[in-house]
Amino acid sequence: MKFEKSQKLYEKGLVNLVGAVNSPVRAFSSVGGNPLFIKKAKGSKIVDVDDNEYVDLVVSYGPMILGHRHKAVEKAAKKALKKGYSFGASTEAEIKLAKIVCDAFPEMDKVRFVNSGTEAVLSGIRLARAFTGKDKIIKFSGCYHGHQDALLVAAGSGLATLSLPGSKGVPEGAVKNTLIAEYNNLESVKAHFETHDDIAGVIIEPIGGNMGVVIPQNNFLKELKEFLETKGALLIADEVMTGFRSMFGGAQEVLGVTADITCLGKVIGGGFPVGAYGARNEIMEQVSPLGGMYQAGTLSGNPIAMAGGIATLTELKRQNPYQKFEEVGQILETILLAAAKKHNVDLVVNRFGSMMNPFFTKSKVTNFEEAQTSDTKKFAVFFWEMIKNGVFLPPSQFEAWFLNSALSDKDIKKISIAVDKSMLAVSKMK
């Protein structure tokens, strides 16, 4: 397999793009080598500029749940495109998509569309502060909620301390109201409430998808919500990644918990830039023009994105692929574990519906600290062998793999062969 054209584009891109990319994970920094440049995709396949074809387990980090260029989504987008690209005014499509989304989340009365998951989370946190009149927010180590200043933080010297900036350019003042807790550790949340009386809420990925698919243990989410209710604080669910992935609705329903504010993105746009945040009426009525919390956006509710979202969710409801996702996910988990055992490679697989991730570690992974026990050098070897054998993966140990409904039995067979060869390569590492 050759990557000559990708290499040339990478060198050309270095001139006017930062690192030749527009998002850091695309730079392949954690796996070595240079990024691949993609020219087209269809169904379950993606093709790079060197005409190498891959079974795609990235699917744009989640949104292409129906596969690439699904005919219903493409038809809807083309139809909308002919009517205009952006109006700076309201359209009927916004109302249609809002109803579909709200109907899928039992406690969501109203929703506000924005342009990205980052923007949805930023707005959701502002809303929690507006509703409660309090300033501090608790987040969990290893959960990523977009690149806004207030959430780009590291844990600092301890779980019960204020956070330190996790990126250059983020002033200490921007994170002074952000507190860090440990995922799956309710006591770490309670400790903050013992020392702070101005906590507006807790934000969490119901499934930790940015530390490699980490699942809540022992009713953690239920007990967290119950505790927050006793403190008058809100639970903010970042379902940008999990929304409509494990069922037609959110992971909250699967896990038996209801958030006060839900943030969405990815699938609800069908591949077009979109985000959303929603809640019950008394909370959403804080948002302008009904209330005093200001949030606006020129391209919010863009007609092309709304059309793509309506078509995607309509088709998703018609297909109802969730049982198939569970079956395919189980097959791939078995393939990974069997290949690891065959080649004497330490491996743990975490999976939730159509999201999964293998960790090259002996340890159970239930939080970010445990996820970091994974051998990233082994993952890098595994990643490139999978690429060479025609399977496109996220170029990071800590990014989730995503299934799509276009995956075929032939694709699964190809993945199985690639996994066996890749585990063999890992087993030969010195």
For residue 30, give the 3-state DSSP assignment.
coil
* Pairing of β 110-114 and β 53-56: unpaired
Write down the catalytic residue from 238, 260, 375, 411.
238
DSSP annotation string for 101-168? HHHHSTT--EEEEESSHHHHHHHHHHHHHHHH---EEEEETT----S-GGG-EE-TT-TTSB-EESST
Residue 378 among the catalytic residues: no
Q: CA–CA separation, 138 vs 120, rounded Å?
A: 17
- Which one of 45, 225, 266, 378 is the catalytic residue? 266
Nearest to 58 by CA among 413, 402, 302, 338: 402
Take residue 406 and report the two structure tokens written for it: 């276009």
Q: Where are the beta strands (DSSP E) in 174-286?
A: 178-181, 199-204, 234-238, 261-265, 275-279
Distance of CA 229 to the CA centre of its chain: 26
Distances (CA, A) of 123 to 164, 261, 294: 22, 10, 9
Is 266 an active-site residue?
Answer: yes
End-to-end CA distance of the chain: 24
Q: Which two tokens stand for residue 226?
A: 């119950």
CA distance 61 to 402: 7
Do 389 and 424 touch, CB atoms closer than 8 A?
no
Is residue 183 part of the annotated active site? The answer reads: no
Single out the residue of 232, 283, 231 nearest to residue 105, CA to CA. Answer: 283
Q: Is 142 exposed, middle or buried (0-12, 13-18, 19+ CB in 10 A)?
A: buried
**Do 259 and 105 form a contact (C-beta atoms < 8 A)?**
no
Residue 307 corresponds to which tokens in the numbers above?
A: 């059309």
Q: Which helix (H) or strand (E) holds 370?
A: helix 368-371
Provide φ and ψ at 375, rounded to 5°.
-80, 100
Residue of 54, 144, 277, 322 with catalytic role: 144
Tokens of 15: 């001139």
Q: Which residues are known to be catalytic?
A: 144, 238, 266
